[in-house]
Amino acid sequence: MLIFLNRNLTFLATPKTGTTAVEMALKPEAEIVFSRSRKHLTALRYRRRVLPFLQETFSASPEPLAVMRDPVEQIRSWYRYRSQPRLDGKKLSTKGLTFEAFALEVISDAPPPRAQIGSQFSFLTSDQDDLLVQHLFAYERQPTFRDFLADRLGREVKLKPKNVSPDLPAPLSGEVESRLRTARAKEFALYDRLIAADGYLQTPQE
């Protein structure tokens, strides 16, 4: 998470949406940086814990900004990320597992450690399913995202790929995708709203 007090923005790092590239490009300009285990602080925790501190200490209420990825592609990215050799033999490894099997584990009632990846929907919303991000961008609409950042930061923003997962084949049948869409209906619905808004969804926050 990056907080830009002078630009009135907070970048919330939705996992597997290119956040490392954003962090590397914008970190020098952020007044406050949450990294390592605190990098992926959710929108709800930002609202409840961090925002009150910023308001009380700096009289600031930075607008939350985040990126959302096609839900299937985000899960596929997790699958590939956890196939890395450095995880071989560990509980988080997906080595020897098909992507379909991984996707089914993700939506099972008791996912094993390797499939405990959370969801973008829970990252971005409240307990009542309200979207807690004022500026939400589609990962697949990078020019729109970069243009917004350039406008707010007053400079051109270039994002260089970082922390790229292995290029591992990960096909998904229509049947399993259908099950995935049913299990994560709210997440797919939010992503559909985002794409319908040309990749940029604005939701004023109280």
**Containing domain of residue 185, as a range?**
2-202
Give the pLDDT confidence score for residue 151 in this predicted structure.
96
The 10s digit of each residue's pLDDT in 53-70 is 999 999 999 999 999 999
The domain total for the chain is 1
User: Over 90: is that where the pLDDT of 165 sits?
Assistant: no
User: Over 80: is that where the pLDDT of 91 sits?
Assistant: yes
Residues 6+ away with beta carbon under 8 Å from 91: 112, 113, 114
CATH number, domain at 180?
3.40.50
Q: Which of 145, 120, 159 has its CA nearest to residue 9?
A: 145
Q: Which residues pair with 162 in a beta bridge?
A: none
Cα–Cα distance measured from residue 113 to residue 116, given in angstroms and rounded to the nearest whole number:
5
